[in-house]
A and B are shown apart, each in its own frame.
Chain A
Amino acid sequence: MKHAIIHFFICFNCIVCFAQSKPVNEGQSDTSKLYALVAGGSKGIGYGIAEALAKRGYNLILIARHLDTLQAAKNKLESKYPIHVEVLAIDLSFDSSADQIAKWCTNRNIHLKVLCNVAGLGGANDYLSFPLDSLRYMVRLNIESCMALSLTLLPLLEKNAPSYILNVASMAGFAPIPVKNMYSATKSAVVFFSYSLRYQLKDKHISVSCLCPGPVFTKPEIVKDTKAKLGWFGMKMALDPGTVGEVAVKKTFKKKLIIVPGTLAKISSSIIRFLPRRWVVSLYGSAGKKKSK
């Protein structure tokens, strides 16, 4: 009986996927005036996404905390691709940031076509050992900034419809990971937000996608951490930020809702989503314990 139910859902998912993958033109006609905003675009996955957008001829607005990394990203992108890159050094966890960014864009009459909410923070053992302010910072950066930016930039995106929103969550958003408690809780909110937002903005011709990558090797610590916790399986599943960015942008323009780059990650993510959450928690928990021994 259980098998029959699981089978039914796999079939159902396939139907949903096929129904979605209608051929769509990638909106490449004239991108010389069109802009894409990447929040958290100076490094890591954000930079990978920015590069994939630059390849398609979009001008970029990059937002991050530090001006020097932003400037480096700008120089690299402008020398490689014939586009214009604007940079804004803003801490997205501040209350005023979303308003500030929206005002900046409106004043310059930016033709905003794509909004990518990439900025986010994660780490191991991120609850019991964390100070209260770090918890708040994580909630503000991972959830609030994504919701607030989508809200304040909505009028601009609506004006330039059809347009695209890409939120970056994580595979951790599909099921709770005890050692990454805060991270997976906040990312689960981003996944839910994207699901609902897609239908709320459907009539406005704004397509919402959600990138849920497995491990991505953006920093040497992550390589070490993945190897220790998930072993060979994690190493096989992991991808580099460039590939993730390219897949994310390609699928965003195809209006796909949940984007999981990599075959192995895709398979694991669908298994995680089917299993009861309780099981996944103890599974993740035992993997964490192996590491501490």
Chain B
Amino acid sequence: MSWALVAGGSKGIGFSIAEALAKRKYNLLLVARNHDDLSDAKKILEKNFNIEVETLPCDLSLSESVTKISNWCTAKGFKINILCNVAGSGGSKDFPELPLNDLKTLISVNLESTLTLSLALIPQLKINAPSYILNVGSLAGFAPIPIKNVYSSVKSAIHSFSYSLRYILKPDKISVSCLCPGPVFTKPSIEKETIDQMGWLGKLMAIEPGLVGELAVRGMLGHKMIIVPGKMATLISYVLRLFPGQFIAYIIYYFRKQNKIRK
């Protein structure tokens, strides 16, 4: 029986990835902060699909969590061949109003946990090859976004990391993919923020959480490197990649300024 570990799999994009994997008869290991969310997710998944679900509550922003997770996997003898690093947070504040502690959490949850968890589990993935790693980046990782500075910087590191990792792990038959979604309305607050910041374009780019997971898993199992769910988001991603970073940053700054003046 093969197992898939989804870090941050109790809610949002992570849950929808878990669902798509369950549909394909993978047993699931879900890791997240909140115990109640985890047991809810476990109940739903076990009821709808004929699979086993194990959960481990732990905070991925703490450095001891990674060792805890890898020890848990070895101790229970799970044969993992899929790792999905989904845990992340966008943070509502940004430079220059960002509190120092939020900055640190943003970096450790979004970047550090992905880097360390992948490294800790690569030995197990190697044994169970062919296996898959799915990192979650963002459309914001393609170009610097001055209103989501820290988030887009950290996600760009995830993209760069995924490209390199894919290359390094090719001989070991581990395929690395990077999911780069546009806005996904997993919470009402995100929907409001997106429409506030990007207007109609944000609405067009947005995609429902259920679909993101399905497309992500399909892309990952098809050995795709960059997975951008949705047609509009794909189009935008090309624009972001094609233009110089400075140009994108300037455009966003300029429109923000115009908006502020109008208000």
Chain A interface residues toward B at CB < 8 A: 5, 9, 12-13, 16, 95, 98-99, 127-128, 130, 132, 135-136, 139, 143-144, 147-148, 150-152, 154, 173, 175-178, 180-182, 184-186, 188-193, 195-202, 204, 257-258, 273, 276-278, 281-282, 285
Residues 83-127 of B contacting A (Cβ, < 8 Å): 94-96, 98, 100, 103-104, 107, 111-112, 115-116, 119-120, 122
Chain B interface residues toward A at CB < 8 A: 63, 66-67, 94-96, 98, 100, 103-104, 107, 111-112, 115-116, 119-120, 122, 144-146, 148-150, 152-154, 156-161, 163-168, 225, 241-247, 249-250, 252-253
Beyond A128-B168, A181-B168, A198-B249, whether A98 also contacts B150 by CB under 8 A is no
Which residue of the partner chain, among B120, B144, B159, B164, contacts A195 with CB atoms under 8 Å?
B144
Beyond A127-B168, A202-B253, A273-B244, whether A196 also contacts B149 by CB under 8 A is yes
Q: B167 touching A189 by the CB < 8 A rule?
A: no
Which residue of the partner chain, among A148, A177, A181, A195, contacts B249 with CB atoms under 8 Å?
A195
Q: B144 touching A192 by the CB < 8 A rule?
A: yes
Q: Which of B94, B243, B245 has the most CB of A within 10 A?
A: B245
Which residue of the partner chain, among A127, A144, A152, A199, contacts B107 with CB atoms under 8 Å?
A144
Q: Which of A135, A139, A152, A188 has the most CB of B within 10 A?
A: A188
Q: Which of B104, B112, B160 has the most CB of A within 10 A?
A: B160
Beyond A151-B98, A189-B157, whether A135 also contacts B112 by CB under 8 A is yes
| CA–CA, A285 and B171, complex, Å | 13
A145 to chain B, nearest CB (A): 11
- Tell me which residues across on chain A come within 8 A of B122, comparing CB atoms: 128
Q: A192 touching B95 by the CB < 8 A rule?
A: no
| CA–CA, A139 and B153, complex, Å | 12
| CA–CA, A178 and B153, complex, Å | 19
Q: B100 touching A130 by the CB < 8 A rule?
A: no
| CA–CA, A151 and B120, complex, Å | 32
Residue of A nearest to B140 (CB): A192
- Tell me which residues across on chain B come within 8 A of A199, comparing CB atoms: 146, 249-250, 252-253
Which residue of the partner chain, among B104, B145, B168, B246, contacts A258 with CB atoms under 8 Å?
B246
| CA–CA, A273 and B164, complex, Å | 16
- Tell me which residues across on chain B come within 8 A of A12, comparing CB atoms: 244, 247
Q: B115 touching A197 by the CB < 8 A rule?
A: no
Q: A147 touching B150 by the CB < 8 A rule?
A: yes
| CA–CA, A180 and B249, complex, Å | 27
Q: B96 touching A176 by the CB < 8 A rule?
A: no
| CA–CA, A276 and B241, complex, Å | 9
Q: B152 touching A13 by the CB < 8 A rule?
A: no
DSSP class of A's interface residues: helix, strand, loop or mixed?
helix
B160 to chain A, nearest CB (A): 4
A15 to chain B, nearest CB (A): 10
- Tell me which residues across on chain A come within 8 A of B98, comparing CB atoms: 151
Beyond A192-B152, A193-B153, A196-B146, whether A176 also contacts B244 by CB under 8 A is no
A196 to chain B, nearest CB (A): 4
- Tell me which residues across on chain B come within 8 A of A130, comparing CB atoms: 119
- Tell me which residues across on chain B come within 8 A of A178, comparing CB atoms: 163-164, 167-168
| CA–CA, A282 and B166, complex, Å | 11
| CA–CA, A184 and B160, complex, Å | 7
Q: List 26 A-B contacts (CB under 8 A).
A: A9-B244, A95-B104, A99-B100, A128-B119, A132-B63, A132-B66, A135-B115, A139-B111, A143-B154, A144-B103, A151-B96, A181-B168, A184-B160, A185-B115, A185-B157, A186-B157, A189-B153, A189-B156, A192-B149, A193-B153, A195-B245, A196-B145, A197-B95, A199-B252, A201-B96, A258-B246
Q: B150 touching A193 by the CB < 8 A rule?
A: yes
A8 to chain B, nearest CB (A): 10
- Tell me which residues across on chain B come within 8 A of A276, comparing CB atoms: 241
Which residue of the partner chain, among B66, B100, B163, B168, contacts A277 with CB atoms under 8 Å?
B163
